[in-house]
Structures are given as structure tokens and as C-alpha cells.
Structure 1
């Protein structure tokens, strides 16, 4: 299989920056994610998180890291693929809410020269905020987040492929809720080996009439989490037209734990679903 880190030498890391300075040290940390030593991998993951996704912010180097993290998750020989995927998700999505509508206009107004000047101020000036207004730095942060998101969007087909992999399917399903879907993605979600997580993502996708039929069939599935997430997803999609069987599930059943890959509790999802229905 192709080396997932092939191409590291082709990236001009010394021209990029992370939260702590020049990004020349990023390639070695990425290589450490393949180490046979668990402590080395854990340390590299922690370091990358603090440098590339520092306190929730993206940086000039963040987008450049994305394709290598995707390649690492894509390779079944990579250890600890779940936390690597968690880092990938953080870089690409951050703490964006759902439903997600990308709005990067402020960042897109900056030119390449503007971004270079922001970087110079942040890393070479003793008092950067005395030399430029705060809005200038905030716009750059939006642009770097936009670059990371767009880098992540380029790999949607990989995320859809992971839906058949029990190790990362649930996380992949959640990640796909943040990107426009096509029929191939929808088909992969419907066939996912993590159906509860996939159901919630299907609830956030507009269109695709086949999804409603699939979710309605899931109301009779065995596991409660699959049935409950199908009811939630149908409520998101249909509102007041929610079938009675789905409404009964939401009202009468005690919510199970949230499916893997999602931070919101199932009780929270049920509350959102009932609000969407009008209750």
C-alpha cells in the first residue's frame, strides 16, 4: 500500500506557521503517528492538536496537514486511527454547530499579501495588535478555518468510504453531516455499519427522498439507538409531518446513550426533534 505520508517533502513547511512558530517540525510529528510506541504516538497527537488546532483556532499550516491525516486514517495499518480522525475533524470543522452553513466571507476578502502580513505581525512583531486592528487578525483566523474546511471537503469520498469500516464508521458519519452530499454519499450512509450515527447525519441532509423511506424502515429496526435516531432524523426532515410511529418513539421511549461519534446526548437530540415537530 502507498505510504500515507508520501509527499511530506513536497510541502513548503518552513514557509508555513502553526500556533508556536515556523511549521518545519510538523512532518516529524506526523511521522510519529505511525510509531510502534504508543507514548510517542500520543505525544505527537497532543503536540499537533496544540500547534495546528490551538485553542480552537486554525493556522496557516492547518490546511496542509489535512490530506496527510486523511491518508493516515485511510491506511488500516495506522495505529490509533480513531484519535487521528478526531484531530482531523477538529481541524476541518472546529466547533461549528449543526446544521452547518459555511460563512467564510470575512476571510475570503483577504489577499495573499494580507495573510502574509498577518503572519508577520503575529510571529515577528513584539506588539502585533498595536500595529493592526483586531478585525484584521479575526479575518485571518476565518480564512485559515476556511482553508482547512475546504481541504477537508476535498476528501468527502474518503469519509464515505470509511462508513464501511467498523473502526471509524461512526466518526465518519458525523463528519459527513458538515458537507454537501451527493447520491454516492447518501448510499454509503444508508449502508453504513454504524447505522445510528449515520441516521443522525441523514437527518441533516436536505433532499434525497429515498432517505425518508430508509429512515421509516429503520423505525422497526432492532436496536433502540437505531430506531431512536431514525425518529430524530425524520423529525428534522419532516417536521409536523412526522409519522406517528416516530413520534411515539420520541415521546414514550427513554433515550439511549448518544451513538458513537456524536457529542450531544440522545436526550438533547430528542428535544431538538420535538421542537422541530412543534411540541
Structure 2
């Protein structure tokens, strides 16, 4: 995590924002919106989040400028002085991943076609021009390349995300653990996910779910998840059981099967548990039972 005096937005002015495009035209307002995320005024920060979501991530679509925003959002989350870091992390996630949810896991990016500068220029002219020209045939490929570029801009920073899994803010730590599910596992990311203590319930539960999808042939993960089946936290137990079902199928330990089978008996406790995933914990329990051939 960045603890130096250097601004997390250092280098912002070196980006040619006017030559890049967001949802509604040239991205000249994007640097100001990034700066506003550091404002002491809560309403100004809220407006900046709202505008960035509309400009850089618009109804799930990423744009030419999106990949250029990713490093700055990462630096903001890195800086403990940044306000609302969990919200900034959520913004980083949707820009990197779009509207993908856990039904797309385990995830591997589909290669996008190589697109030329000429193709991008044609699509930009079509999107933002004044005439009624027909959609260029390259439009789909260009959109896919912007999606790819945003994802890859985050992928190269995944080890930075791993450093957030022991953040003092449990929502930042849990969000980082979930984000790591979307990128190729590295030794650092796996070790950080394994190290989260069981007493840190929200990050530990989120990390368990991520480990369900990462490094399927890594026995150290299976050993760690099995050890968590006997912790005091029902959410940690349940997510460990879910992850083992995703990894081992019907070879999962009997203790994990029992936890999954009994999960519906604790709806209030499970439903109230906050995790930064699209699916609920009861939904994950149902998914796990389905994966081992025991549909609820």
C-alpha cells in the first residue's frame, strides 16, 4: 500500500485525455472527476463517482479511455488517505470487468481481434460525429478491444490488489479478495488469500469463494479450506465448504457436505452476512450442491 507523500494521481496530467473518448465524447472531464474522488466534500465525491460510472463505465460498456483510468483508481485504493476506498475499489472493479458476475467464473478473457488505429478512428467518428453514417463493420471488434484493454490494465496490477486483502477496512479487504477471482493466480495472490485469518470473517469468507475458482491443482488450498470447516464463523465454514465443492466435486469431505446441507436451516444468519459477491451465500450453497449432483 502506498504510504509515501506522492499523490496517488501523480502523472494525471501526462495523459492525453482530450484525444481519448468516454461515453459521451472527449474525456476532458475525466481527470477532474478523478481528482474529485479526493475531495473533502462528501457530495462532491459522490457526484464524481456517479459521473465516472456514466462516462467510463456506461451500462456495462467500457470505452477508449477506460483502461487509462484503471492505474489511477488502483493508486487511490493504495493510498490509505483516500476517502471511501471501498467505493473506489468497486468503481475499479466494474471498469475492469464490466457487467460480469460470478456465473462467468472461472474466467478467461476471450481474445479480441487486433484492431487498427484506422478502425478505432472510424468507430469514434461514427459514435461522436454529427452525421447519420451507418455503423462501421469494425464497431464490434473495437468495443471488444476496449473491454480487453480495461481488463488487461487491471490484470497487470493484480499483485497490488493482493496487498489489500489485509486492509484494516474489511470491505476493502473482502472486495480485493473477490477481485482476485477474475485474474490468473500468482504465487503472491494465492498466498495472500490463504493467509487471511479466520477471525477476519468478511475477508476470509470472500477469499474462500475466490479460492474455489483459483489454482484447481493446488493441494495447499484444499488443505486450508478443509481446516476452515471447523471455525466458529458459520459464514467462513459455509464458504469453505462451497469452495471445496467447486474444487473437489463429490470428493469433498463429509463435514463440508453436512455444512452445505444444513445451510438452509440458518437463513437469517447467512442472509445477513455481507459479502461483495453478486450471488448470496445461500445461492452459493445451492450452487455447490448442484455441482456435486445434489440439487436442493
TM-score range with shorter-chain normalisation?
over 0.9
Gaps of 5+ in 2: none
Q: 2:275 aligns with which of 241, 260, 263?
A: 260
Distance in 2 between residues matched to 1:30 and 1:207, nearest whole Å: 41
Tell me, yes or no, if structure 1 residue 100 matches structure 2 residue 115: no
| Root-mean-square deviation over aligned CA pairs | 1.3
Partner of 2:162: 160
Q: 1:214 aligns with which of 219, 224, 228?
A: 224
**SS in structure 2 of the partner of residue 186 of structure 1:** helix
CA contact (8 A) 1:225 1:259 kept: no
Q: 1:241 aligns with which of 251, 264, 278?
A: 251
Distance in 2 between residues matched to 1:153 and 1:230, nearest whole Å: 25
Q: 2:33 aligns with which of 18, 29, 42?
A: 29
- C-alpha displacement at 1:115, in angstroms? 1.4
Distance in 1 between residues matched to 2:191 and 2:243, nearest whole Å: 16
Partner of 1:145: 147
Distance in 2 between residues matched to 1:182 and 1:208, nearest whole Å: 12
Deviations along 1:13-57, one digit per CA (max 9) or x if unpaired, are 111000011011111110000000000000011000000001110
**SS in structure 2 of the partner of residue 87 of structure 1:** helix
Following superposition, which runs of at least 4 residues in structure 1 exceed 3 angstroms of deviation? none
Tell me, yes or no, if structure 1 residue 117 matches structure 2 residue 122: yes
Tell me, yes or no, if structure 1 residue 197 matches structure 2 residue 206: yes
Gaps of 5+ in 1: none
- C-alpha displacement at 1:259, in angstroms? 4.2
Q: 1:44 aligns with which of 48, 55, 72?
A: 48
**SS in structure 2 of the partner of residue 278 of structure 1:** coil
Partner of 2:178: 174
Deviations along 1:60-101, one digit per CA (max 9) or x if unpaired, are 000000000000010000001111111100000112222212
- C-alpha displacement at 1:138, in angstroms? 2.0
Q: How many residues align?
A: 274
Deviations along 1:80-134, one digit per CA (max 9) or x if unpaired, are 11111111000001122222121133xx332222112211211124224x2524x
CA contact (8 A) 2:122 2:136 kept: no
Distance in 2 between residues matched to 1:241 and 1:7, nearest whole Å: 51
Partner of 1:83: 87
